[in-house]
Amino acid sequence: MSTSPAQNPADIAREAFRRLAVKRIAPTPEAYRTIYNDIAGITGAQAAPAEGAAAELVLGQVTTRLSETPGEVGEAGRRLQRTLKARDWEGLTRGMTQLLDKQLKKPGPFELAVLADEPEARLLRDLLSRTLVFAVASLLAGSPALAGEAESLGAAVKTANNESALNEVAARLKQLCYQIEIRSGDVAEQQELLLRLFRLLLENVSELLDDDSWLRGQVDAVKNLIAGPLDQRALEEAMRSMKEVIYKQGQLKHSLSDVKHTVRNMMMTFIDRLGSVAESTGDFHEKIGGYSEQISHAANIDELNVVLDNVLRDTRAVQEETLKSRDRMVAARQEMHDAETRIHTLEEKLRHLSDLVREDQLTGSLNRRGLDDVFEREMARADRRGTPLCIAMLDLDDFKRLNDTYGHIAGDSALKHLVQIVKSTLRSMDVIARFGGEEFLILLPETTVEAASQTMTRLQRDLTKHFFLHENEKLLITFSAGVAMRLPHEGQETLIKRADSAMYKAKKSGKNRVVIAE
Ligand SMILES: Nc1nc2c(ncn2[C@@H]2O[C@H](COP(=O)(O)OP(=O)(O)OP(=O)(O)O)[C@@H](O)[C@H]2O)c(=O)[nH]1
């Protein structure tokens, strides 16, 4: 400490007492005066003879101040006050030494704060209490016992302002943490088991499908989704795709049972008809055999006439039966034809259904319907979380020329190639949808417009690196893009319009570039 004479007398007095205590000197007025003068830089000549009394006065002020302090220090101050009154200098020395010893142990700032019930301590306790009552308890909603303990601990923390109460809270907190650790292990294990079960189910569904079934693609997509790191988005996506699979399977089962029914009916009818033809021709053969016998034994023309009449009648009957059978056969063929047409219509319907689902059959990107779903979901998420949402409108450059030069099939493959590169370059949360013929729309959630623009430029670079191969010829495909960030509460239509005009500007200004929408 500085001993400058300009120091405040109260500070000098406090320092004098500290030194008396540290050096364990009895705080007699003489000793106090010597040290006081020493600190204040007062030489012998300057020291006033009445300073003994002044020192006592200062001692009185200090002990009074101490006695007014709350807690332990206040109590010690009151004891010192009494000792001073009794002019028990030794007692005063002991008391002050003890007090200083205790204070000089220098407890940590938190301990000090807790003991003195400082605002910082209250704030910390309040924060811990809120964390336990609001955050931890609500995270433990699935375990009412643990949630209850978190709430009760939260309340206990608020009132724990001495060491033993804090120790008790600490022990309970440790126990709670341990229980939470065990529980989260259980939850993770349960999740893993459920996922395994889901994978098994998917394997099973795959086994039942033909190799060329369009359902196989859907099932594979779900498998891929749950193979990666799981997040809410991936699970939602998997659920949606599974729903489609279930819906389509239902349709397929229905049409298949219809077809089976028709074919069974036709087989039955056919066998019936065959049976009756065989029956009537069999009878006829037998009868003809009998008539030839009668003819060989006929005695006169009259007898022959009777036999001939019978032959004619029976032949007519067989002829009629044959004609009827022919009619029935024609009807059966018509039924067969109708069934075929029905199967055809059902197949058409199924194709239409797959058009209605969210995937574009050629490229495997989403179709317009799928895009609408994702748009709705991402806009709601962006509003809820206050995160930016960007879109990019892509249009392949000079695609007509590619089609005209290399053919439509090459054009189709180029579209598939683009989607493949987009899917491998962008994050799993980004979504690509086919917007029109060679136009695609990419949704970039939680992305600023600068980042979205950079992403599109990176995609353009990647597209030049991974060129498109057509019959071993490397073809360079490029695109122009317009990027737009959704304004607060902006609708899908206007957002797309802005991205589209930006893309148009990119085309106008030379193609193979990215323009940010106004
Ligand atoms: N192969 C194939 N071509 C398609 C498909 N959908 C649209 N197209 C063709 O894409 C071409 C688009 O031509 P334009 O609109 O003139 O555009 P562009 O030739 O790319 O010219 P810019 O956009 O100005 O660079 C047309 O020839 C369409 O027939 C598709 O599914 N497959």
For residue 479, what are the domain limits? 368-516
Using 50, 70 and 90 to split pLDDT, how confident is the model at 397? Answer: very high
Residue with tokens 């799981």: 230
Strand partners, 391: 443, 484
pLDDT at 379: 93
Lowest mean pLDDT among 74-78, 99-103, 135-139, 463-467: 99-103
Residues 102, 32, single domain; the answer is yes
Q: Render 110-174 in DSSP notation, one character per residue.
A: HHHHHHTT-HHHHHHHHHHHHIIIIIIHHHTTT-HHHHHHHHHHHHHHHH--SHHHHHHHHHHHH
In a domain, 160, yes or no: yes
Boundary-marking domain end, from 158, 175, 199: 199
In a domain, 72, yes or no: yes
Boundary-marking domain end, from 80, 106, 132: 106
Residues with CB under 6 A from ligand 1: 362, 395-401, 403, 408, 411-412, 415, 437-438, 507, 511
Query: Which of 12-16, 194-198, 503-507: highest mean pLDDT?
Result: 503-507
Q: At what angle do helices 399-406 and 408-425 cross, to 10 degrees?
A: 130
Residue with tokens 């699935």: 142
In a domain, 65, yes or no: yes
Mean pLDDT, the chain, whole residue set: 80
Residue 287: both structure tokens together: 């009868």
Atom of ligand 1 nearest to the CA of 507: 24
How does strand 514-516 pair with strand 479-485? Answer: parallel
In a domain, 183, yes or no: yes
Atom of ligand 1 nearest to the CA of 402: 19
Whether 236 is catalytic is: no
In a domain, 235, yes or no: no
In a domain, 188, yes or no: yes
In a domain, 245, yes or no: no
pLDDT at 110: 47
Residues 405, 473, single domain; the answer is yes
Residues 373, 336, single domain; the answer is no
Active-site option among 438, 439, 471, 490: 438
Residue type, 138: S
Q: What is the ipTM of this complex?
A: 0.91
In sequence order, the 6+-apart residues with CB closer than 8 A to the CB of 370 are: 357, 358, 359, 360, 433
Residues 127, 62, single domain; the answer is no
| 448 or 214, greater pLDDT | 448
Residues 156, 191, single domain; the answer is yes
Reference 481, options 423, 429, 438; nearest CA is 438
Residue 372: both structure tokens together: 């609408």
Lowest mean pLDDT among 53-62, 153-162, 419-428: 53-62
Query: Does position 112 have pLDDT exceeding 60, yes or no?
Result: no
CA distance 406 to 404: 6
Residues 170, 133, single domain; the answer is yes
Query: Does position 1 have pLDDT exceeding 50, yes or no?
Result: no
Residue 86 Cα distances to 18, 49, 82, 336, 499, angstroms: 21, 23, 6, 126, 91
Residues 128, 27, single domain; the answer is no
Reference 506, options 401, 391, 397; nearest CA is 397
| Dihedral sign, Cα of residue 313, residue 318, residue 324, residue 326 | negative
Residues 322, 380, single domain; the answer is no
Residue nearest to atom 14 of ligand 1 (CA): 400
In sequence order, the 6+-apart residues with CB closer than 8 A to the CB of 365 are: 359, 419, 422, 432, 433, 434, 440
Q: How far is the CA of 358 from the centre of ligand 1 (A)?
A: 22
Atom of ligand 1 nearest to the CA of 409: 1
Reference 248, options 107, 180, 347; nearest CA is 347
Residues 18, 151, single domain; the answer is no
CA distance 418 to 146: 52
Boundary-marking domain end, from 356, 389, 417: 356
Q: What percent of the chain has pLDDT over 70?
A: 79
Q: How far is the CA of 149 from the centre of ligand 1 (A)?
A: 65
In a domain, 334, yes or no: yes
Residues 72, 148, single domain; the answer is no
Q: CB under 8 Å, gap of 24 or more: what pairs does 471-479 form?
A: 475/402, 475/406, 475/410, 475/414, 477/396, 477/397, 477/402, 477/414, 477/417, 477/418, 478/396, 478/397, 478/511, 478/512, 479/394, 479/395, 479/396, 479/397, 479/418, 479/512
Residues 345, 286, single domain; the answer is yes
| Dihedral sign, Cα of residue 510, residue 511, residue 514, residue 515 | positive
